[in-house]
Chains A and B, each alone.
Chain A
Amino acid sequence: MIAPSSPVAIALVGCGSVSRLFYQPALRELRRHGLVNILAVVDPRADARNTLAAALGAAACTTLDEALALRPELVVIATPPAMHRAQAEAALAADCAVLCEKPLAAISVDADAIVTAASRSGRLLAAGHYKRFMPAHRALKTFIERETFGPLLDATLVEGGKFSWPAATDSFFQREQTPGGVLLDIGVHTLDLLRWWLGDPVDFTYADDALDGLEANALLSATFTSDANIRLRLSRDWRTENVYVFRFARATIHSRVNASNQLEITLEGLPMTLAAELREPLPGRPAPPTRALDKNPQAFIAQLVDVCAAIRESRAPFVPGIEGAHALRWVEACYNRRTPLPLH
């Protein structure tokens, strides 16, 4: 990643848990490196707004308009999905670049509208699918594309556990404000990764346990042009192994969820597993160990670095907004094809 030449002026919209737990430490670290200037935080709730503003040394704004008046270059949107469209359109109309948290919007029509608004304004739009920045996921993409261990035969991905996100209100669980459950919440990341690794699915089936509310368990089975069968199980009900297992012709690879710089590789015919930390490459000569690659929080920071660099270099970000729209469209397609899971 290339660092921008001067600090990017940022406004952070939404002072909920994701801002407090992820953006606050990430932005502070980037400011320490002179990469960002945090102008403002925005939230209608005074306590949340003032706490985060104090922590970041930024102006506390009640509305987005107040923050836009401070002329930020980048608006980071970390609010409930139903608010993303209006906020992104307003920021783009004010000539700001936008990094929008996942899902890009509550519904794909809104996501498309955001993408169109970005295109019309000529401003950068990035989707908050930071898991693409994880070294393990980048390595998997390489293994799949180059068939390093032969073709991918199948993959089983299980992710989730008892829900523990410190949701401040119940809006997260009300269909009117958040139109999806575990698939929209954590699954949108996984579907984005699957698309990135394998392209659009050729076919898929989907089942979940929602009654007239939001699903807590979901099962997806998909095929891709590579003929690989992918099975995904998501839960915010019960513990899972939290691992993606990729079975190639000559190796099986376990990638633990959020273990950003680790892979476990079992080579065909070798009765043992290599538990590997991913590091900067070694030269082909005797050399000391190299630096470990990004852990999960560092991968989150890497996305912000990329967006800031993309603004300075007038280039597209690593994960452009259209990718967020694609992932959301797949989520919606799943809901449209939904079959019920037994409740036991």
Chain B
Amino acid sequence: MSVSNLLSQYGDRYIQALLTTWKLTAFSFAAAFALGVLITILRVCPIKPLRIAGDFYVQVFRNIPGAALLILLVYALPYLKIIFSYEVCVLIATTLIPSAFCSEHLMSGMNTIAPGQIEAARALGLTFFQMIRRIVIPQALRSTVLPMTNLLVATMLTTSLASQVPMRPMDLTGLVSYINTHATGGVTAFAISAALYCATALLIGFTGSLIDRKVRILR
């Protein structure tokens, strides 16, 4: 099929699929970021069991393959009488995995802060929360713009998991496999989806490096 043929027949669906991918990406990333911050707080708090729990969480979700997690959520959890809709399962999987990486980035962002700064803050009599809010968090965020940009792209790539469950509306990957099993979309059908993914990734990357240049701390 030619590009114009495909677009006239499936154009609306491609737009819908692109929006679905964007929506999944945005929701997952926002949730993953919030969860990542929370986990990071657990990992640096002075209470040992919580630190260990935070580390454990990160190791589990950093190392589990997306397909394995999704299959557990969709097919195995119902045996425990825990049943989520397909969309919720996908969202959980695409949130938990990036949240672990988010926490890792935040931890390494924090490690870029020179120990002297913490000592100086303490010498000036800043309270713990003042120190966290005024010194640690701003610097950790500013030095993690690029890793977070990459994480957003990675989150987008992870949302292709949605194609593994019969979810409606379909995402970009799901749509292509749908088109190719119902008609012969051939290479073109893939090329359109790939182009849309790439354009999104480039847009994210461009915006990210723009922000990074504005806020990066030169050392």
Partners in one complex: no
